[in-house]
């Protein structure tokens, strides 16, 4: 299955999965950096779809991704956002990161922060805009953390 077919398949698969639970919505899809982006519009069931700590979103992503793997799709990484939850969270993390970066710039002391992989990516991307700041991740699994420091 080529990239375009994979995007269409993932979109339809998620729409069908949601309709099984009585959520009949049109899912918007795009693809960037070899990740299929699926946007589910806001509904009255956002909190159930998102789940505690976004566990349900991650479960949906896994299900859709595995469906693509089973179909031997060219692209199998999937990111699902429900009612702009992830976008709003990324904005909150970016605002916090600006404060962390300012503190590192002022004090010269590195900061270590425990963040989810998605949140670490937000901070890494933001830090690229600062010529005097570098970020990297250390550790394995759940013990992985982000370090912000001056160059």
Half-sphere exposure of 75 (CA within 13 A, CB side): 20
CATH number for the domain harbouring residue 14: 3.30.300.20
Domain that holds residue 108: 88-150
Q: What is the pLDDT of residue 111?
A: 92
Question: Which residue is listed with tokens 């970020």?
Answer: 135
What total number of domains does the chain contain? 2
Q: Same structural domain for residues 27 and 78?
A: yes
Q: Give, for all 151 residues of the chain, the pLDDT tens digit.
A: 888 899 999 999 999 999 988 888 999 999 987 889 999 998 888 888 898 888 899 999 999 999 999 998 888 899 999 998 988 999 999 999 999 999 999 999 999 999 888 889 899 999 999 999 999 999 888 889 999 998 8
């Amino acid at each position: 299955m080529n990239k375009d077919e994979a995007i269409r398949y993932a979109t339809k698969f998620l729409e069908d999965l949601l309709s099984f639970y009585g959520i009949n919505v049109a899912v918007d899809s795009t693809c960037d950096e070899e990740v299929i982006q699926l946007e589910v519009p806001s509904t009255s069931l956002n909190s159930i779809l998102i789940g505690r700590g976004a566990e349900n979103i991650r479960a949906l992503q896994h299900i859709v991704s595995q469906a693509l793997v089973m179909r031997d799709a060219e692209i199998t990484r999937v990111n699902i956002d429900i009612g702009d939850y992830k976008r709003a969270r990324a904005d909150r993390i970016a605002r916090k990161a600006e404060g962390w970066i300012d503190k590192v710039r002022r004090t010269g002391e590195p900061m270590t922060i425990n963040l989810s992989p998605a949140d670490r990516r937000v901070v890494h991307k933001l830090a690229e805009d600062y010529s005097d700041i570098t970020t990297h991740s250390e550790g394995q699994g759940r013990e992985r953390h982000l370090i912000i420091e001056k160059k």
